[in-house]
Structure 1
Amino acid sequence: MNQTIELLQNRRSYRDFDGNYVIPQAQLQAILDAARQAPSWMNGQFYSIIVLQDKQIREQLVEWNPGNPQIKKSSVFLLFIGDLHRSKMVSEAYDSTYPINESIEPVILATTDAALALENAVIAAESFGLGSVVVGSIRKHGKEISRLLELPEHTFPLFGLSIGQPIVEMQVKPRLPETTVIHYNKYQPYVYQLIEEYDQTMENFAEARETKRWSQKISDFFATEPSMLTDQLLQIKGLLK
């Protein structure tokens, strides 16, 4: 097995970091460069990354996200922004129309581009022996974060990435059975028993932060009345009617 495959297959999330560790600037720059080199639709690069090193800003983010104290404790926090402001500038330069809120497609483009850049950053950090964890809950406070960081119109916070020196070793979390996720040539039906078996696998894994069976957690999430916060933010930002 080559080193890249080994790195990818052993990736895990870390939430406990050495608060005194400072990432060398050269490593941080390499992580950012790797993120920017990710695949992108049309090479449009419909995202931006805000590098948050300011402790006060990160303290405010933790105040809004108390379940994610690692935002402050990590060496750096990268905030990934769906960015359709840049393409608006291009459209204005060409004096062309910009019906950005007529379809969900632009939002999908920006989200996908940002996610690809995020994963490149994750693997780049791992290559330096650093740990990281993705923080998606920032979307719950997208409006507040937009004001705090002075995000322009047609931009929206998507997710963050805490990067630092881990102080607690983590195990590689088991994934769903391959046959429930990987399909060849067409979608292949599978029996629910495979999900039940995964529930048992995760119970045996016994991650302390998990308080429910995997299937119950997923069921509860989708049974809850959906939050419209992201929809409201996209409307405010001129990206959704």
Structure 2
Amino acid sequence: MTTNETLHLLTHHRSIRRFKNQSLDRDTIQTLLTAAQRTSSSMFMQQFSVISVTDPQLKQQFAEITTYPFTQSNGHLFIMIADQHRNEFIGEEAHENTKLLHDGDRSLAAFDDAALAGQSIVTAAESMGLGAVILGSILNDAQQVIDLLHLPKLTFPVFGIAVGYPDEKPNLKPRLPLESVHFENHYQEPDKQTLDAYDQTIQSYYTHRDSNTRNETFRHHIIHDMQVSPKKRSEILSILKNQGFFEN
């Protein structure tokens, strides 16, 4: 398989949850944000924003929401925002109809833009020798995040990203076999034998990794996550609609 520095970086991604007690300087933060801004954007509408959480009290509240104490102490916390509010402002300023910004198409586009920009931050950070982890756990209480960050209508917190100087090097987590996620010309149903083999791979990984060992297969992991969810996550769809997204 072809390899180079970029491909090596992408194929050796690890989520980092333990950071050294060293803050990111302003130039590093600006570099990460510039990388995010250069990410592909649907129809060049640039329908995302990023909020850096630096206030100690706010960081403490995010640590409670995410259940990750490191968001309060080490590492820089970014919150990726799906943002059609800015575009609505532009439309209203020109006295134009902004109804389309609320529909499913433009709602998805805003979330796509925010997610893609977030991945650019992660990749850029790793290229600079930093570590990062994406925090979907901010959605444990989406409404509280909206309130804490004073998010207006047509904005929504997609996920957080903690970035810092890594203080750990976790084992590389095996992914599904390529044939399970890449198909040609049409969708293919999951293959039981392939999943059986992957279960063994994941079970071995969890048993032998350097920390937090456990006896679990991929199927067990998926089934558990299908049955258990923080209570307030069931409110996400109604909160999305209350924020003005997916109205039609």
| Length-normalised TM-score, structure 2 | 0.89
Counterpart in the other structure of 2:16:
14
Amino acid paired to 1:215? R
Aligned to 1:4: 6
How many angstroms apart in 2 are the aligned matches of 1:149 and 1:237? 14
How many residues are aligned here?
Answer: 239
Q: Which runs of 4+ in 1 moved over 6 A?
A: none
Shift of 1:238: 2.0
Report deviation, 1:210. 6.0
User: Which residue type is aligned with residue 53 of structure 1?
Assistant: T
CA contact (8 A) 1:58 1:71 kept: yes
- CA gap 1:5/1:168 in 2 versus in 1, 3 angstroms: same
Q: Aligned-pair distance for 1:13?
A: 0.3
2:19 alignment partner AA: F
Structure 1 unmatched ranges of 5 or more: none
Structure-1 residue corresponding to 2:165: 165
Matching residue of 1:133: 133
**C-alpha contact 1:140 1:230 (8 A) present in aligned 2:** no
Task: Determine if the alignment matches structure 1 residue 237 to structure 2 residue 239.
Answer: no
Alignment correspondent of 1:76: 76
The 8 Å contact of residues 88 and 101 in structure 2, kept in 1 or not, is answered as: no
Structure 1 pair 188/4, CA: closer, same or farther in 2 (3 Å)? same
Cα deviation for residue 52 of structure 1 reads 1.4
- Corresponding residue for 2:65? 64
Greater mean deviation of Cα atoms: 70-79 or 220-229 = 220-229
CA positional deviation for 1:45: 1.1
Would you say the 8 A contact 2:132–2:162 is kept in 1?
A: yes
The answer (yes or no) to whether the contact 1:65–1:138 under 8 Å persists in 2 is: yes
Provide the TM-score with structure 1 as the length reference: 0.91
1:124 shift after superposition: 0.5
C-alpha displacement of 1:235? 2.3
Moved more, 6-15 or 203-212: 203-212
Deviation at 1:24, TM superposition (A): 2.4
Question: Quick check: 2:35–2:124 contact (8 Å CA) kept in 1?
Answer: yes
Aligned to 1:217: 221
What is the alpha-carbon root mean square deviation over aligned residues?
2.0
Question: Offset at 1:189?
Answer: 4.2
Larger CA deviation: 120-129 vs 98-107? 98-107
Q: Look up the SS of the partner of 2:134 in the other structure.
A: strand
For structure 1, which segment, 181-190 or 73-82, has the greater mean C-alpha deviation from structure 2 after superposition?
181-190
Partner of 2:47 in structure 1?
46
What residue identity is the alignment partner of 1:110?
A: A
